[in-house]
Amino acid sequence: MLVIQLKVSKDNALIDASYRLSLTEMQIVLYGIGLINPTQPEFPLNYRIDIKKFADMFNRSHGQIYQEVKEAIVKRFWERDFSYLDEKGRTVTLRWLTKMVHEDKSGYIEIKFSEEIQPYLHQLQGNFTTYYIDKIAKFKSIYSVRLYEYSIMYLNKNKMDAGRLPILISEIKNKLGLDNKYNRFCDFKIRVLEKAKNEINESSDIKFDYKIIKLGRSPYKIEFIISRKEKQKHPIDNKNYKHNKISTTALEAAKKLVLSSGTGWDLYVIEQQFYDFIKIKGKPDNLEGAFIGFVNSKIKNKP
């Protein structure tokens, strides 16, 4: 079975936003985002979801999948929104979709993302996070997806392979849309944190753990302990990795270029893009030179 490797790029504000979707709804969003090329000038708001490809991607191949996806969109996703704090500290609430078209038995559903969401998915400038859908495709819990995104965002943003991220319990519950749920911490721990931890460690490219920090006897903060799995640290195949690794000197030079360009781009993301690029084009003789050229070209052609 051929499954296309879709890459998801989201503005960090969207990952940081407070919202709650069911697993199917989140998979629809990710599939749609996966079809977007975040650097292309055009942003086609309409997306055609091929139900068969969707089912293959998320390992949900069975006879009812079209009906399930259709009902998930028509009955629930249509009403869903998400909110975030803008630069003035105001709460902004947006709808995900503005239109959906379905024709039973066609095998396709068309959705249209709202125009307001475009800046969070398209022509992203530096402050965004990228990962492959296949890393989260096996997750059964929506919280695993959200915590995975949050972890990847943290590692990429700080250009780390491992780190610790402390966060208030009230804050993480807010981000997960669980403000008025799981009033007992033990329920939150078992049903959200433990479940996510198991799924992320089992199926994704990162290791995820957490430490509960208490004030007296009451938990008030969680410290997420996140690291990239060894074999996933390098985005190209392991057997060739040592021959293809970009030197620290070249990375430093590229970092200076990015800083002076004022784009605010994440060098880690550019590095990933370069590895993808040479996967297709083949390894250049002068890897460092090609990388610097790649960065220069991106800066020159920035939107």
Partner DNA sequence: TCGCCACGGTTCGCATGAAC
Partner DNA sequence: GTTCATGCGAACCGTGGCGA
Neighbours of 169 (CB within 10 A): 20
Taking the complex as a whole, the smallest distance from the CB of residue 257 to DNA amounts, in Å, to: 44
Q: Are 81 and 19 in contact (CB under 8 A)?
A: yes
Neighbours of 197 (CB within 10 A): 19
**Number of chain positions touching DNA (CB under 7 A):** 29
Q: Does 191 bind DNA (CB under 7 A)?
A: yes
Helix 267-281, helix 287-300: angle, nearest 10: 120
Per CB under 7 A, the list member of 88, 103, 180, 281 interacting with DNA is 180
Per CB under 7 A, the list member of 7, 16, 23, 292 interacting with DNA is 23
Per CB under 7 A, the list member of 50, 56, 68, 209 interacting with DNA is 68
Interacting stretch for DNA, rule CB under 7 A, among 96-104, 129-137, 189-197, 221-229?
Answer: 189-197
Interacting stretch for DNA, rule CB under 7 A, among 127-135, 178-186, 233-241, 285-293?
Answer: 178-186
Q: Provide φ and ψ at 5, rounded to 5°.
A: -85, 95
Taking the complex as a whole, the smallest distance from the CB of residue 22 to DNA amounts, in Å, to: 3
Give the residue with the Cβ less far from DNA, 64 or 248. 64
One symbol per residue from 142 to 161: x for binding DNA (CB under 7 A), - otherwise; what is it? x-------------------
Question: Which pairs from 201-206 meet CB under 8 Å and 24+ separation?
Answer: 202/138, 203/135, 203/136, 203/137, 203/138, 203/139, 204/135, 204/136, 204/139, 204/148, 205/135, 205/229, 205/232, 206/148, 206/151, 206/152, 206/155, 206/232
Query: Footprint of DNA on this chain (CB under 7 A)?
Result: 22-25, 68, 72, 76, 140-142, 178, 180-187, 189-192, 195, 212, 216-219
